[in-house]
Amino acid sequence: MPLLAGINSDNIAAQQLPPEMVVFGQTTAMRDVRQRLERVAGANISVLISGESGTGKDIVARLLHLYSPWSSGPFVKVNCPAIPGTLLESELFGYEKGAFTGAYGSKPGRVEMAHRGTLFLDEIAELDAALQAKLLQLLQDGQFSRIGAQEDKKVEVRVVCATNRQIHQEIEQGHFRQDLFYRIAAMTIHLPPLRERAVDLPVICEYLLRYYNDKLNGRVPMLRPALLSKMQAYHWPGNVRQLENLIKRYVVMGTEDVILSELLQPCEHDPFEALVFDGPISLKKLTRQTVRKIEAKIILKALHANNWNRKKAARSLDISYRALLYKLKDAGIPPRRSASPSTKQADGKGK
């Protein structure tokens, strides 16, 4: 049975989630994510979602909630790094009147708001030691206390946490409680980075393009196969979030060169770090590929500097116009800047 089949289609949160094929794709790693999610969604145990920033941990957390018996209850998200440490305790657990200066009345915290629902703690490793202790109490016996309160409160809540850090390293360095880790990680779900699921990139791009064309009133076409191929070879340090922002810019600007500009940015890591010398490697081939990449970056900068005028760009690079056209084709760069519908009409091409 499809994962989302049991979710009420009238649920607004469910309607805002991408289709299953977009979320899970077809890699073995994401198939494992799906299986784990299906098994644990209905169990009243805490879940830890790990993975690099931008891999979609928020979406998996929402799916866990929507596919659980508590889907009719609230889904309360707390972005731990976004709230200063001095305020985070009151945001999480609430406070009583007079608990501190400015506390003119009682206020419930996010934990209470999530009663009979799901509490999603994003970037859990950012919690300080005192808050870790209070969270441990909540997970152990379902009780907590507001700031300034004399008595504990009881709450029924399913806790889902996420992190982009290596929790075991945080424990070894004394930054995270080991007993809390065992409580929040009754089940773990690890999301692979986008570069390890490049086969899914065309489906994700198609979904994002349709979504943002509709949302932003855009009319940009689907990406060319040659460009998609280059995107699949890119390292995506910001993962799906970076891809989504890039597609937004493409829809707004209406030109593929905004995508090419990002793909041709210098890598943050050594591009030859992954080389494994367990067999013959062609030095000439590797050198030729590297030179082509460097040339493509230089040509794209020259085109930008000359407002995409190819003849001026060729002169600025001290090469012939014909040589520039050849190099554009060889690098997979569009021969001319993609024009928006309004630009085409102004040029007389939209008639």
Give the pLDDT confidence of 145-163 residue by residue, as tens digits: 888 888 899 999 999 999 9
Asked if 32 and 189 count as a contact pair (C-beta separation under 8 A), the reply is: no
For residue 280, what pLDDT is reported?
Answer: 64
pTM of the model: 0.73
CB distance 42 to 69 below 8 Å: yes
Contact (CB, 8 A) for 303 and 257 = yes
CA pseudo-torsion sign 177, 182, 184, 189: positive
Amino acid of residue 279: G
Question: Of 41, 17, 137, whose CA–CA distance to 89 is shortest?
Answer: 137
pLDDT value, residue 1: 38
pLDDT computed for residue 211 by the predictor: 95
| Residue 181 identity (one-letter amino acid) | F
Tell me how far apart the alpha carbons of residues 205 and 194 are, in angstroms, rounded to a whole number. Answer: 12
pLDDT of residue 9: 40
> Are the C-beta atoms of 63 and 69 separated by less than 8 Å?
no
Closest to 179 (Cα-Cα) out of 227, 127, 207, 140: 140
Helix (H, G, I), strand (E, B), or coil: what is residue 213? helix
pLDDT per 10-residue tile (average), the chain, 351 residues: 44 69 95 95 95 96 95 95 86 85 85 96 93 93 89 93 93 93 96 95 96 94 92 93 95 90 66 53 72 80 80 88 83 57 40 40
Tell me the C-alpha distance between 295 and 217, whole Å. 35
